[in-house]
């Protein structure tokens, strides 16, 4: 299950965020973001900022799936935060920027994986114990 979830994260696209066209790459959109951690431990994300001095993580996302077959997500969670906070902020950035692609994947595969009709079909083709 962990591998599956990691695979879904790799297939991510950031929609609903201010995408910028990448210089020199017509039709390729890119978004940058910074994650901040409050004193109470609540994370928040600001799109369009690359604040390496106050943010606990920064991220950039490029929607290149139509040209390369993959999207590009780069995250740096080492901006003066503890290892635990940096990891949490990096995950927060990944989920925020890739939520739309994860949702698209969920919509595509849900019927195949989780409906009772298809589960019954899968049991029919599974080898008997």
For residue 67, being part of any structural domain is answered with: yes
For residue 128, being part of any structural domain is answered with: no
For residue 129, being part of any structural domain is answered with: no
pLDDT confidence of residue 115: 75
pLDDT confidence of residue 59: 96
Contacting residues for 60 by C-beta, under 8 A, at least 6 apart: 30, 31, 32, 33, 50, 72, 73, 74
For residue 33, being part of any structural domain is answered with: yes
**CATH number, domain with residue 41:** 2.10.70.60
User: Which residue bears the tokens 């950039």?
Assistant: 60
Note the pTM of the prediction, 2 decimals: 0.65
pLDDT confidence of residue 65: 84
Mean pLDDT by 10 residues, the chain (129 residues): 34 40 55 93 93 93 88 86 90 92 87 68 55
* Burial class of 122 by CB neighbour count within 10 A (0 to 12, 13 to 18, 19+): exposed
Q: How many domains does the chain have?
A: 1
pLDDT confidence of residue 47: 94
Q: State the residue range of the domain holding 69.
A: 2-123
For residue 91, being part of any structural domain is answered with: yes
């Amino acid at each position: 299950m962990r591998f599956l979830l990691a695979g879904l994260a790799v297939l991510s696209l950031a929609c609903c965020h201010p995408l910028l066209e990448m210089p020199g790459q017509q039709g390729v959109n890119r978004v940058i973001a910074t994650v901040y951690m409050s004193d109470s431990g609540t994370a928040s994300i600001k799109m369009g900022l690359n604040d390496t001095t106050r943010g606990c993580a920064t991220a950039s996302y490029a929607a290149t799936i139509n040209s390369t077959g993959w999207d590009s997500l780069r995250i740096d969670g080492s901006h003066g935060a503890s290892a635990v906070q940096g990891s949490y902020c990096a995950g927060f950035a990944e989920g925020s920027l890739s939520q739309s692609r994860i949702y698209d994947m969920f919509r595509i595969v849900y019927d195949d994986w989780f409906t009772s009709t298809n589960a019954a079909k899968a049991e029919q083709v599974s080898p008997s114990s």
